[in-house]
Amino acid sequence: MSQSRKIKIEPNKRLFLIVFGLNMIDLLLTNYAMRFDGFMEFNPVMSHLISQSIWLWVIMKISLSLYACWSIYMITIKTRWPFIAYSIRKFTLYIYIFVCISNTLSILVLFVS
């Protein structure tokens, strides 16, 4: 009689994992797309970091991702205005989803052309 154990994650931790996961997908897709001619990073700060060193860019991207996730997590647990915290979380997730989708589409365009 084996009991299936379900991992219970609090909603704030789940949000943290979703945002971090989306950032890592963005990092991988951007790194993959940079191998092709005609693809460039539109963010001027990240573009400069990529030209210096790819590993510097990866470390900075992961650091900023962790900082963004930590900030969202802290906003959701230490706020007195739950509606504002919810709106910030929702807006941030939409931005990350948009970035990941735009990177995916740019890779598909590179393959087609």
Distance CA 55, CA 61 (A): 10
Q: Is the pTM of this model over 0.95?
A: no
Q: Where are the domains of the chain?
A: 12-32+41-112
Tell me the pLDDT of the chain (113 aa) as tens digits.
455 555 454 556 777 787 788 888 888 888 887 777 777 777 788 888 888 888 998 898 888 888 877 777 666 666 666 777 777 777 877 887 787 777 777 777 776 76
Residue 42's closest CA among 4, 87, 99? 99
